[in-house]
């Protein structure tokens, strides 16, 4: 079976449509808007930009924004939404289909966003740390970074393993059915890496079925690791939130959302 290099492959139009339908929350965008405040229009980079859920509202507020997204299908949905916006807003948005780990982020950004559990897309702590290093290189002095992830508490090694979990499931507007499942296979304790099998099933309106299976892994990241990397790359941590409502982080929090400044 093929091994995908990161923790999940979103490059399917049905998956992209279901993602948009089910991941329609906005409390992280509202938190970002409060943090940005009434500043002048910023030059923003969003890594892992997906279907534009975060970047479109920020562009509508006057910011210039670049998105980097590995999946063509996810990016195509962002393009479709952007095409319906006022021409002046469209001109403020640049989308790049590329792997964030291929560097080439551009430079001179006032703010870099890695939201929506972005680090859980990656399969090693080295890849996650590299994102913080690249962010440091791409930001202006005193530039800001927003990183939003679950705070891994070290409890996934117990399993259960071999049990199927449903991710996305539903019908697209054209009647195509899609269902994504994941099975945890084993846990690498030393590297805190979870190895999984993903299955992506689609059934067209003509009854044609397609099953795509692949192996993948993800490094479960903790607040302590993110804090360590931010300090290592000379970021000054301004705030750590424990949820997307903006409550302060405590060791009991499920999330750790960092707002930090390049010094
Ligand atoms: C959970 S989605 C989040 C999308 C968007 N930021 C949002 O909040 O709705 C994660 C996205 O990261 C993308 N992604 C995963 N690994 C990536 C990589 N190495 N480089 C660029 N994008 C990546 C996936 O294709 C997916 O669209």
Regarding whether 171 and 145 lie in a shared domain, the answer is: no
Q: Is residue 59, in this structure, part of any structural domain at all? A: yes
Question: Number of structural domains, the chain?
Answer: 2
- Give pLDDT tens digits for 151-207: 999 999 999 999 999 999 999 999 999 999 999 999 999 999 999 999 999 999 999
In the predicted structure, residue 94 carries a pLDDT above the cut 90 = yes
pLDDT of the residue at 171 = 97
Regarding whether 147 and 49 lie in a shared domain, the answer is: yes
Regarding whether 199 and 130 lie in a shared domain, the answer is: no
SS (H, E, C) the chain: CCECCCCCCCCCHHHHHHHHHHCCCCHHHHHHHHHHCCCCCCEEEEECCCCCCCHHHHHHCCCEEEEEECCHHHHHHHHHHHHCCCHHHHCCEEEEECCHHHCCCCCCEEEEEECCCHHHHCCCHHHHHHHHHHHHHHEEEEEEEEEEEECCCCCHHHCCCCCEEEEEEEECCCCCEEEEEEEEEEEECCCCEEEEEEEEEEECCCCCEEEEEEEEEEECCCHHHHHHHHHHCCEEEEEEECCCCCCECCCCCCEEEEEEEEC
pLDDT of the residue at 39 = 84
**CATH code for the domain of 167:** 2.20.25
Q: List ligand 1's pocket residues with C-beta within 6 A.
A: 6, 10, 23, 48-50, 53-54, 68-71, 74, 99-101, 115-117, 121
Regarding whether 171 and 72 lie in a shared domain, the answer is: no
The residue range of the domain holding 142 is: 13-152+220-262
Site to substitute for ligand 1 among 17, 18, 69, most atoms within 8 A of C-beta:
69
Regarding whether 243 and 133 lie in a shared domain, the answer is: yes
Å from CA of 79 to ligand 1 middle: 15
Query: Taking residues 236-258, what's their average pLDDT?
Result: 98
Regarding whether 226 and 247 lie in a shared domain, the answer is: yes
- Single residue among 202, 219, 236 that ends a domain in this structure: 219
Q: Is residue 30, in this structure, part of any structural domain at all? A: yes
pLDDT of the residue at 230 = 98
């Amino acid at each position: 079976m093929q091994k995908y290099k990161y923790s999940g492959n979103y490059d399917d139009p049905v998956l992209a449509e279901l993602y948009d339908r089910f991941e329609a929350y906005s409390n992280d965008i509202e938190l970002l808007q409060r943090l940005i405040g009434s500043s002048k229009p910023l030059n923003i980079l969003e890594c892992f930009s997906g279907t534009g859920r975060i970047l479109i509202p920020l562009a509508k507020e006057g910011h210039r924004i670049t998105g980097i997204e590995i999946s063509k299908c996810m990016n195509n949905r962002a393009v479709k939404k952007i095409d319906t916006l006022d021409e002046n807003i469209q001109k403020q948005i640049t989308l790049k289909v590329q792997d964030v780990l291929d560097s080439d982020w551009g430079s001179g950004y006032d703010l870099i966003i890695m939201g929506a559990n972005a680090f859980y897309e990656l399969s090693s702590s080295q890849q996650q740390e590299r994102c913080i290093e690249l962010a440091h290189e791409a930001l202006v002095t005193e530039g800001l970074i927003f990183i939003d992830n679950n705070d891994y508490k070290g409890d996934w090694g117990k399993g259960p393993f071999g049990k199927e979990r449903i991710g996305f499931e539903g019908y697209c507007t054209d009647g195509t059915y899609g269902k994504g499942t994941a099975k945890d296979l084993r846990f690498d304790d030393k590297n805190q890496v979870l190895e999984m099998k993903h299955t992506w099933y689609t059934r067209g309106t003509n009854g044609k079925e397609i099953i795509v299976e692949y192996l993948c892994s993800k490094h479960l990241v903790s607040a302590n690791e993110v804090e360590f990397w931010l300090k290592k790359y000379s970021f000054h941590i301004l705030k750590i939130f424990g949820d997307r409502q903006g409550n302060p982080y405590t060791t009991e929090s499920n999330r750790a959302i960092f707002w930090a400044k390049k010094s």
